[in-house]
Amino acid sequence: MSMIPSNTRITPFLWFDGNAEEAVNFYCSVFKNSRRFDKMNSALDTSVPKGKVITISFELDGQAFVALNGGPNFKFNEAVSFMIRCENQEEIDYYWSKLTAEGGQEIQCGWLKDKFGLAWQVVPAQIAELVSTPKGMEAMMKMKKLVIAELEKANGSSKSAAADA
């Protein structure tokens, strides 16, 4: 495979400050269906010394990415994030704990920043349904990590909420 994956038309490029390889290794360890592809070393002394890794292509759950050792000029912010659609609470808990580990930050409403500063949204697959009522939306707004059972209860869509009525 070439440096730029040909199997997708749009490939996110992620700018890191010299730790792209560490980041790629981390993300590949978090996402079970992932793999590294090619890496390219710098041919010149630039912001990356000659012979050191400048880009690495990789894939997480079928989504192609390229990590760039671009230097300290730019930092990630919440204006761009990646959403992880989870089938159950176990998946939410898994991704939440892995991505907030070692310096990651919980934000709000299922959002977090990982230790590299990249923003993620960890949400249940049925998020639109769960926040379709004012009570469901209010419940989500009070959460950091999303808890499906609490969202279902607030929305009136869980079996336990029906039994409580």
Q: Using CA atoms, how far apart are residues 147 and 139, in angstroms rounded to an integer?
A: 10
Q: What angle do CA 23, 72, 16 make, to 5 degrees?
A: 20
Dihedral in degrees, nearest 10, Cα atoms 67, 57, 110, 91: -150
**pLDDT for position 132:** 94
State the pTM of this model.
0.88
Q: What DSSP element (H or E) covers 141?
A: helix 134-141
pLDDT for 90-106, tens place per residue? 999 999 999 999 999 99
What's the pLDDT band for 30 if we cut at 50, 70, 90? very high
Q: Using CA atoms, how far apart are residues 136 and 150, in angstroms rounded to an integer?
A: 9
pLDDT for 37-51, tens place per residue? 999 988 888 778 788
pLDDT above 60: residue 161: no
One-letter amino acid identity for 105?
Q
One-letter amino acid identity for 157?
S
* Mean pLDDT on 159-163: 43
